[in-house]
Amino acid sequence: MTTLNDVHQQFAEYFEVPVLKPYAYLLSKKLSEGHICLDLDAISEEQENLPGFYQIQENGAAPLTTVPLVGKNGNDSQPFVLFQNRLYLQRYYRYETSFLQHINDFLAAEKELLPERIALLEQQQELIRLLFPAGSNLRDGDDPADWQLAAAITGVLNNFTIITGGPGTGKTTTVAKLLAILYATDPALKVALAAPTGKAAARMAESLRNTTIPVDPAIAGKFQDLSPSTIHRLLKSIKNSPYFRYNKKNPLTYDVVIIDECSMIDVALFAKLLDAIHPQTRLILLGDKDQLASVEAGSLFGDLCQAQEKLNMFSGDRLQLINRFISDDQRKIPAAQAQTNYRHPLFEHLVELRRSHRFTGHTGIGKFSKALIRNDQPAIRSFFAAGADDQVVIDQSGNVALFEKFIAGYESFIREPDTRTALRKLNDQRVLVAVREGAQGLYAINRDIERYLHDHGKIRITAEFYENRPIILTRNYYEHGLFNGDTGIIRPDENGVLMAWFEDSNGELKGVLPGYLTLAETAFAMTIHKSQGSEFGQVLVVLPDAADVPILTRELLYTAVSRARTKVYVQGSAEVILAAAERFVARASGIAARFLAQAGDVKTGN
């Protein structure tokens, strides 16, 4: 008996159809890399990714059309589905199809409600002008148009709305103003807030509760009552099952569902989430289209944001409606954003916020992050010189003194006697890494930091859970109200018993015996993936020495840099940084093509 060590070959060899085997191998490999399907129009280019004994002779679907194990219309029970020159596993085809169908259901349900909603909006003119006042200060390069107002009105009118934007563009502020309008029209509104991680959900809720927008005290009270959760907790996980208590047959009972950090949601969870939301509900998806995609298969939020050729386009009537709520001409949506020939299903359902209130686009973190995501190599190179920028420091030599000076800052939270304050001080800085293994990996960097702090008398490592060890959870602990990605600190309670302390969504401390938290990692340094949904005052990004690390992409580096509020240090060579900016995530899916087919009245498989 021959033992196969290649899991993709094991999968391919399960099917006793020679012509299918190379396709099955590639499909399995692509799924492990985050793709939903296999694009058959360029399949011959994948020959180098196949073992030598597998061969694909031509592009296109022709070799698969007579294979009995490959379904052709999506309603078959075969393990593979061929659709629009893409090959899917049946399960992932159904996820994608279900996802698209639910969006179409939202779009159909909102049409009959539009006249009534426009009338309700007109009644709130005074509140809207109060929420979106004239005279905000513009900096050089700022887009003057009030895209926050456009996004809020879009969210009020539609049942399905996407709001995207980079750090500091005001996504949460926009949602606060949108909710203020909705609460003014219906004080009994039931609202759900959720995100892929508890940390991201809690941060969104905290921002909404602390909002300073001018609203009636009754509405402000509604914000205080908002209770965030993870998506899994919102849908009510069933133990030892991939299914949820809330689903198509038992939908959620909320009037509005707001989901943050949507770029982190994989295709399976997205499909199950939409399954559980009734088409009459308003669903608002928030996220940064340029951030990292989910760890599992799918980049659906990015696919939705890129499905249309241009963003922020409106019909002439919708443009006039939005501009009626804007008193000064400078902030009005320009006429160039009007589109007459619009058939795309997502038209008027996606708004990109284009003005950062945290960064400028021509200096510092804002300029550097923008240069990375656009692969603007001259702009990236302009940061390499010593002292080139006050907010961005590129250290190509891996300067030990710089590293040690940065990590010495952890003394601030260690010396803080108040645990709640210490947790907040911990977020004043963070070391971020791209990989787990190697000298620049998570495990080695955390050991380096621990050794430095121990040698300088800041911590005493006496056991696995030592005093002042920062930890990050790597799974959900529903029984303790703790979630994957939550960060805490090990400290003694009033009886001297070491506990893991976390801050809940209401800012209250929660202590758990560390022995209950079997899956937790040291968090002086954390992976860039785990940092999504977080913000830190200062960030030190440690990159691997090798430039040919596939995971090191422009999205990864953009995400790392944009976690910092005030300053970012990047320890990595020019070669590694420039190579990362050239490499981008392009996950195969049928989302954009199926929407385009729908716009052209071509069969979509729904």
Which residues participate in the annotated binding site for ATP?
A: 165-172
Residue 499 contacts residue 490 (beta carbons within 8 Å): yes
Between CA 121 and CA 117 the distance in angstroms is 6
* Count of other CB atoms within 10 angstroms of residue 196: 28
| Contact assessment for residue 291 and residue 555, using Cβ atoms and an 8 Å cutoff | yes
CA–CA separation, 260 and 203 (whole Å)? 10
Exposed, middle or buried by CB within 10 Å (0-12, 13-18, 19+), for 160?
buried
Query: What is the distance of C-alpha 247 from the center of its chain?
Result: 23
Task: Looking at 14-146, list the stretches that DSSP marks H as alpha helix, in order from N- to C-terminal side.
Answer: 21-32, 90-111, 114-123, 125-131
Which residue type occupies 123?
A: Q
To which H or E segment does residue 527 belong?
strand 525-527
**By the 8 A CB rule, do 541 and 495 touch?**
no
Output the known binding site.
165-172
CA–CA separation, 87 vs 71, rounded Å?
10
Question: 397 near 545, Cβ under 8 Å?
Answer: no
The dihedral formed by the CA atoms of 484, 490, 495 and 497, expressed in degrees to the nearest 10: 80
Residue 28 and residue 7 in contact, taking contact as beta carbons nearer than 8 Å? yes
Q: Are 354 and 147 spatial neighbours (Cβ–Cβ below 8 Å)?
A: yes
Residue 63 CB contacts under 8 Å (≥ 6 apart), including other chains: 19, 23, 56, 57
d(C-alpha 335, C-alpha 315), whole Å: 10
Task: For residues 277 and 275, give the distance between their C-alpha atoms in angstroms, rounded to a whole number.
Answer: 6
Q: Which residues pair with 521 in a beta bridge?
A: 472
Sign of the alpha-carbon torsion through 118, 121, 123, 128: negative
Whether the Cβ atoms of residue 272 and residue 235 lie closer than 8 Å to each other:
yes
The Cα–Cα gap between 345 and 283 comes to 16
Backbone angles phi, psi at 491, to 5 degrees: -150, 155
Structural contact between residues 40 and 70, judged by C-beta atoms closer than 8 angstroms = no
Q: What does residue 542 show for φ and ψ, rounded to 5 degrees?
A: -105, 115
The helix/strand/coil state of 472 is: strand
β-sheet bridge partners, residue 540: 431, 569
| Alpha helices (H) along 124-258 | 125-131, 147-157, 171-185, 198-209, 217-225, 231-235
